[in-house]
Structures are given as structure tokens and as C-alpha cells.
A and B are shown apart, each in its own frame.
Chain A
């Protein structure tokens, strides 16, 4: 890896356009994602988030503009791009008929790594799936499937991870588990691009937030910068009530650790 590559942004999107027949889904999208950061792409349903992720993942071609991932152009060097990232799509892409462990071994072997069995066991351990590892994935809960899905994406330690709506459809505990996994990844230096329609998810996780609206990035900045777009805060006195989430997590328990993770907001 040349030094210049390291200084380049992990992801660079310039003037990206994509139409589906008459429907303009992306109308000129520009943004950069710095290495080792968490970048949240926020947008409502149909804003074009998934289309953008599919183009970044070499699953779809853009109509105009340039996209590079890890310094490689997605159109010119798709094979190099595929070695650089890992995708966790909107729906858990796991094999229901295989066991959790077999799913992990499968991806490790497809990434041509040594010791696929050891890699699988290590990830099962990290994602609290050790006991379930020998069971068919068809028997897993939604949260377990998502954890396995993310674990499969980490195999081979790709420098960049795309997470397309990773917490859609998950219960609060499973969502916190996903958040923790994302934070661990970023702490270890992985660049994370995640899409979400949950504002608090972007607020909680991201170093930078971009809002994709009707096929364009309408704002892009840190949380503080985005807040400055609105008039200064007024001081109001509000009785501090526990949120329903606090109540739910306190009652359901989940060994206390996650309650803290959920209640403490991330300071950056």
C-alpha cells in the first residue's frame, strides 16, 4: 500500500447519478469518508441509500460520476474494490440451511484465508453465538441472524465496511449489540459507512452525518455542525423521565452492561 493511498479518503463519491428507467434515484451525489471514521447516511425510505450502497459494493453500476473505494475505482478495478470492503446488506444474507459456524467457515474459505475453522470459532465467541454455532441458522432469532451476518462481514478484516440499515427490524437489545459491534470496529481502525433511517442511530454512532434526500446530499457534517444549522438552543426546564427504552432494558435485564451502553451517549 503506497503512502498516498493511506491519505486518500476511504470512500470518495463524485457526481454520482443513477436512474432506473425514468426514475432519477441519485442526482449527483458527492461525499468523502475519512479513513477510520464512522459515516452515517441518513435518509427516509426511497431516498436512494440502498442504491448508493449497491454501487459502492460493485453490485450495480452508476450512470455518471466516479466512485472509489480504498483508492480503487469501482468501475475500473471491481476486483480490488471487493478485496477492500465487506457488505452487510439490508436483509441478513445468511444461509439458513447451514449452521452458524458453517456460514462463517464458508465466507472464510471464499476469502481464501488459512484456518477457516479457527476464524469461525473466534467470531462465534465474539458475537455470543458459541452455543448456537452448531445449530441451523433457520432456528436463529432476528438478532442472532443479524449478529451472524455482521460476523460474516468481519472475516478477513476488510478495511471498509458498508452496513445498509443494520438495525432495521431489530429489538432494542439487538440494536445495542449492533451498535457496540460498530463502535468496536471503528475503534480498531475500520472505516464504517452505515445507512439508517433512525436519527438517534446516526447521532449515537457517527463521526459525520450526511442527509440523502431525493437523490442528493443536502447536508454533510459533524453532529455539532448540523445542530448549528438551526437557531441556538433555548433553555427549557423539562422533568427528566426515563424513556421507554430505559424501562424496557431495565426490566428485561440483559446483564446490565448494555443498559449503560444504551443510556450513555457517545461523546466526541
Chain B
């Protein structure tokens, strides 16, 4: 049965990728909110924000990419929820397949679609004057961190996707995640914030991830932030994965 794990996962991933290519609006919606926030901050508020960096769009982009990923994974929860409601989930569970493939297909689809949205947002940022001095390795490192963060949030999204009672409930978990970059170093340097807010901002995962990607894009050496960023992402990934698998096992007997 598990002999078919890769084959079954590939077939099921092909299916959910079709859902994305047939309703491109999910990718567009995922990309549009972060792009709107980026336009707003670069062209409206940005002039009044002093980041100490020459280009505000360069400063802003990493945080915007995390917002893109957070809104992308809310669709993962949505797609999983729709499958459990429609009965197709039970059909898959009643077939002689590797059952975990059903979950992995959604996870892979989530990563792929988030990366497409991220690419669109980076494209718009380039049009808005984003420039990077990063070499190939730095780009790969940034992409790797984004993929790891996407995987972590995706496994988190699996839990409401499997347990939610309504569509709204399935995607509501993403709102705090979308909001988290606002209280981090994504938009303004944390040293401008009052004490407790600053303490929160500097010790939550987004700041370390944003700082690391910003350094990578700027072609500068990354500090210890990269280890904090990796530790947060891997930690969230492992904990979310464990709980997601427990939730799944409960659901499927």
C-alpha cells in the first residue's frame, strides 16, 4: 500500500493543481492584497518612514512576501475543508491508496501555489524599483527560507482545514498570521516602537525571517538572525506537522 505513496501523491497533487489552474482567482487574490499593501506603503506612507535604507521597497519586500505566503495558505485550509465537506475526501479514504498521500498532495499544492504568488509579487516589486545585489546562492537561500516558512504555515493550515465547521472557520486562522508582519521589523525598524511592542516585535518569528531575507537580498552577510529564523520555521513546522497528523488520524480512523 505504501508502495504507492509517491504515485498516489503525484496523482492527487495533479488533481489539486488543476483546481488552482482552473480558478486562477485564488492565486490572484493571494497576490493582490500584498501588492496593494506594498503600493500603499511605498507610495503613500513610505515617504514618512525612515528606515535608514535608501530604497523603501527594498526594505519592505521581505515582509510583503511573508504576508503573501500567509494569505496563500488560507486557501490550503479552504481547499482541504471543501474536500472533507464534498465527500471526495471519504471517497479517497475508501480507496486502496496510501492515505497520507491525500494530505501531502494538499501540502505540495500549497507550496507550489504560494511560490507562484511570491514570484508575481516579486515581479511587481521589480517594476516598483526593487533591486537586489544578491548572488545565486543568496537567492537560493532566500527561496529556501520562504519554502520552509510556507511548509510550516501549510501544516498549520491543515489543522483548521480538517476540523473547521464552516468555510469561514477554515480560513480565519490566517488573519493573525497576515497581521503578524505589521508588528515586526517588516514595515518600520523595531527600535522606533515603544518598549513592550518592541519586545514582542523583536522576539517573534517574522522579524528574524524578514531580517535574514533582507540581508540576503541586499547581498550582505547574514547575522545570527538566520539561525533564529530557521529555528522558528523548523519548530513551527515540526509542531504543526505532529498536530496535523494527529488530527488527520483521528479523522480517518
Interfacial residues, chain A to chain B (CB-CB below 8 A): 57-61, 79, 82-83, 85-87, 89-98, 102, 106-107, 109-112, 136, 152
Contacts and interface: CB of A to CB of B under 8 A. Distances in A.
A106 B15 contact: yes
Interface stretch (B18-26, B178-186, B193-201): B18-26
A17 B93 CA distance: 22
B22 to A, nearest CB: 5
Interface of B: 1, 4, 7-8, 11-12, 15, 18-19, 22-23, 86-88, 90-97, 252-253
A110 B88 CA distance: 13
Please name the 10 residue pairs, one residue from A and one from B, whose CB atoms are nearest each other, closest first. Answer: A93-B87, A93-B91, A82-B96, A83-B96, A87-B94, A109-B11, A79-B1, A91-B87, A57-B94, A93-B88
Given A59-B252, A112-B4, A92 B87 contact: yes
A82 B95 contact: yes
Given A59-B90, A86-B94, 15 more contacts: A57-B90, A59-B93, A82-B95, A82-B96, A83-B96, A89-B90, A89-B91, A92-B87, A93-B86, A93-B87, A93-B91, A94-B86, A97-B18, A97-B19, A136-B22
Judged by DSSP, the binding face of A is loop
A261 B12 CA distance: 39
Contact of A112 (B7, B19, B87, B90): B7
B73 to A, nearest CB: 19
B166 to A, nearest CB: 17
B208 to A, nearest CB: 38
Contacts of B7: 112
Nearest to A80: B96
Given A59-B253, A94-B88, A112-B7, A82 B18 contact: no
Contact of A87 (B4, B15, B23, B91): B91
Contacts of B88: 93-95
Nearest to B251: A59
Contacts of A95: 15, 86, 88
A59 B23 CA distance: 30
Given A97-B22, A112-B4, A61 B253 contact: yes
B87 A89 contact: yes
B253 A110 contact: no
Most chain A beta-carbon neighbours within 10 Å: one of B1, B92, B253? B253
A102 B18 contact: yes
A79 B96 contact: yes
A97 B92 CA distance: 16
Contacts of A87: 90-91, 94
23 contacts: A57-B94, A58-B93, A59-B90, A59-B94, A59-B253, A82-B95, A82-B96, A87-B90, A87-B91, A87-B94, A93-B88, A93-B91, A96-B86, A97-B23, A98-B15, A102-B18, A106-B15, A110-B8, A110-B11, A110-B97, A111-B95, A112-B4, A136-B22
A186 to B, nearest CB: 21
Nearest to A87: B94
A84 to B, nearest CB: 9
B15 A107 contact: no
A268 B131 CA distance: 80
B15 A82 contact: no
A98 B91 CA distance: 15
Contacts of A91: 86-87
A1 B92 CA distance: 25
A27 to B, nearest CB: 21
A102 B88 CA distance: 14
B90 to A, nearest CB: 6
Contacts of B12: 110
A110 B87 contact: no
A54 to B, nearest CB: 8
Nearest to B88: A93
Contact of B96 (A59, A96, A98, A111): A111
Given A58-B94, A82-B95, A87-B94, A98 B253 contact: no
A107 B92 CA distance: 8
A64 to B, nearest CB: 16
A155 to B, nearest CB: 9
Nearest to A92: B87
B13 to A, nearest CB: 12
B32 to A, nearest CB: 21
